[in-house]
Amino acid sequence: MNLCIDQGNTRTKIAVFQDDGKILFAKVYNFFTKKDVEQLFVQYPEMDVIVSSVAVVESSVIEALLRMSRFMVVFNSRTPVPVVNAYDSPETLGSDRLAAAVGANYLYPNENLLVVDAGSAITYDFVNEHNTYCGGNIAPGISMRFVSLHEYTNKLPLVTVDKDRMLPFFGKNTRDAIAAGVMQGVVFELQGYRHILQEKHKLFRTVLTGGDAPYLAEYLSETVICEESLVLIGLNRILEYNKP
């Protein structure tokens, strides 16, 4: 079995994968500690491990993982990956972005893929049909846009979205105008990427992941694929690729 750990800016997501690539157990932690590691290995005693982080992982966590795992990979820019990485500065590419691209390529090999991770930031990454990661863009996330409108103006309130309610195209009050403006802006942004890529490439798919992906997908008229565990699927593929 494999233990895949994705530490983000605010939370840590983990998944235990069976040998057939299916997720046996998954959990999200606000704080991932040495004790959590020990509990996982009590439940699943023989695991190989991959760790990906955009922040600093506590040394006690790394020490516990090294001690208890059969084989371990700390994912960074020097880790071999099963796609061609055409990024000009691999050392500055977020490990979560590359893992998501690998995950999408694993699920849909030899296809042109727009990989969208809608989290704190929204990242747009492109993998082509030759299994090459071609690069991508980074934009403010949905929550970040709301905070910016509030903090960089004198009178606009801080708005949050009620994800149980679809927003109108145009708001008829200030809060709806802000909420709809942010959401429609993100939708038009994503549709713009899709339109340009679809004109240039056949066998094209859009794969969404990240905390805001399910809500964002409701506003998209075109068919998109939501895969909540895309980064973890990519990490599992990278771990398998690096095993002796």
Q: Provide the annotated active-site residues.
A: 96
Q: Can you name the residues that pair with 13 across neighbouring β-strands?
A: 6, 28
Residues 6+ apart with CB under 8 A from 85: 93, 98, 132, 133
CA proximity to 51, closest of 82, 13, 104: 13
Residue 212 to residue 230: CA distance in whole angstroms = 14
Q: How far apart are the first and last CA of the chain?
A: 15
Instruction: Catalogue the E-assigned strands of 76-195.
Output: 84-85, 112-118, 121-127, 132-140
